[in-house]
């Protein structure tokens, strides 16, 4: 199966950044970042404070994201290819389902399984609803996408596709990793093998014809 990050992977831009920049106060995150880095504040706490400043209706939030996120080339073709070959395709995200489902719906892919957090957007400020990821991950000590992958993978071989720090832990649970941007840098610095990618056409080409069951 293919397990795929959303922000910066399926989309060209990070949808959470888009919303904070347009409707919120990015200075909140900047002020808290030293505490996050030092471990005095959790990423989740800092994100909650940041999104409390995002004042926008849900309708305007999803419209803004759909208009500005940009879809990485070959994504819909990659999903169609996976389905035609009987490979599962799931989206694992630290972003918000309400945004992800709208973007995917606009691509005719509203039926793709999505595991993510949620956010209630209001003009008075927005509230994140964290998804249940069980105990903190034993590797990264955070509520981690590795938990979601473990729940859905069964005995399938897993191809993971991602771009960021939140993918680092889950990617290493996969059999094949496609990485770009920060994720590629992190994996390289740790000596973890991965395949670089720029778009989903490359991934389809790289994975086909299906490799033999060595
Ligand atoms: Mg990402
Ligand atoms: Zn983890």
Ligand 1 centroid distance, CA of 123 (Å): 26
Q: What is the CATH number of the domain that holds 89?
A: 3.40.50.1000
Ion ligand 2, residue ranges at CB < 5 A: 137, 139-140, 144, 146, 169
Is residue 76 domain-resident?
yes
- Domains of the chain: total: 1
Of the bound ligands, which one is closest to the alpha carbon of residue 6? Answer: 1
The pLDDT score that the predictor gives to residue 213 is 56
Ligand 1 centroid from CA 109, angstroms: 19
**Residue 84 Cα to ligand 2 middle (Å):** 31
In a domain, 214, yes or no: no
Q: For position 210, what pLDDT does the model report?
A: 61
Q: How far is the CA of 214 from the centre of ligand 1 (A)?
A: 31
Domain annotation covers residue 85: yes
Distance from residue 192's CA to the centre of ligand 2 (Å) = 16
Report the C-alpha gap between 16 and 57 in whole angstroms.
15
The reported pLDDT for the residue numbered 211 is 56
- pLDDT tens sequence for the chain (214 residues): 999 999 999 999 999 999 999 999 999 999 999 998 898 998 889 999 999 999 999 999 999 999 999 999 999 999 999 999 999 999 999 999 999 999 999 999 999 999 999 999 999 999 999 998 888 888 888 888 999 999 999 999 999 999 998 899 999 999 999 999 999 999 999 999 999 999 999 999 999 876 555 5
Q: What is the pTM of this model?
A: 0.93
Ligand number with the minimum distance to the CA of 138: 2
The number of the ligand nearest the C-alpha atom of 161 reads: 1
* 153 found inside a domain: yes
Full residue range of the structural domain in which residue 156 is found? 2-207
Q: Which one, of 139, 183, 138, 175, lies nearest residue 3 by Cα? A: 175
For residue 25, is it within any domain?
yes
pLDDT score, position 134: 84
Q: Going by C-beta distance under 8 Å and a sequence separation of 6 or more, which residues neighbour residue 33?
A: 46
Distance 42 CA to ligand 2 centre (A): 14
Give domain status of residue 22, yes or no.
yes
- Counting ligands in written order, the one closest to the CA of 150 is 2
CA 162 to each of CA 10, 117, 174, 194: distance values in angstroms, whole numbers, following the listed order: 9, 17, 11, 11
212 inside domain: no
Q: Give the ligand with the smallest distance to the CA of 133.
A: 2
Among candidate residues 87, 119, 14, the one with its CA nearest the CA of residue 5 = 14
């Amino acid at each position: 199966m293919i397990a795929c990050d959303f922000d910066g992977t399926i989309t060209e831009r990070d949808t959470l950044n888009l919303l904070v920049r347009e409707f919120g106060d990015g200075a909140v995150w900047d002020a808290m970042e030293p505490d996050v880095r030092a471990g005095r504040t959790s990423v989740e706490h800092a994100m909650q404070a940041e999104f409390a400043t995002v004042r926008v209706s849900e309708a305007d939030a999803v419209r803004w994201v759909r208009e500005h996120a940009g879809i990485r080339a070959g994504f819909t073709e990659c999903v169609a290819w996976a389905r035609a070959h009987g490979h599962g395709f799931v989206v694992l995200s630290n972003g918000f389902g309400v945004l992800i489902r709208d973007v995917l719906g606009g691509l005719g892919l509203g039926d793709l399984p999505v595991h993510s957090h949620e956010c209630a957007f209001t003009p008075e400020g927005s509230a994140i609803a964290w998804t249940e990821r069980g105990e903190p991950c034993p590797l990264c000590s955070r509520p981690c996408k590795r938990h979601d992958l473990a729940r859905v993978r069964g005995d399938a071989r897993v191809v993971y596709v991602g771009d960021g720090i939140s993918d680092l832990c889950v990617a290493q649970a996969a059999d094949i990793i496609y990485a770009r941007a920060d994720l590629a840098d992190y994996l390289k610095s740790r000596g973890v093998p991965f395949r670089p990618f720029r778009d989903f056409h490359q991934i389809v080409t790289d994975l086909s014809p299906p490799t033999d069951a060595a």
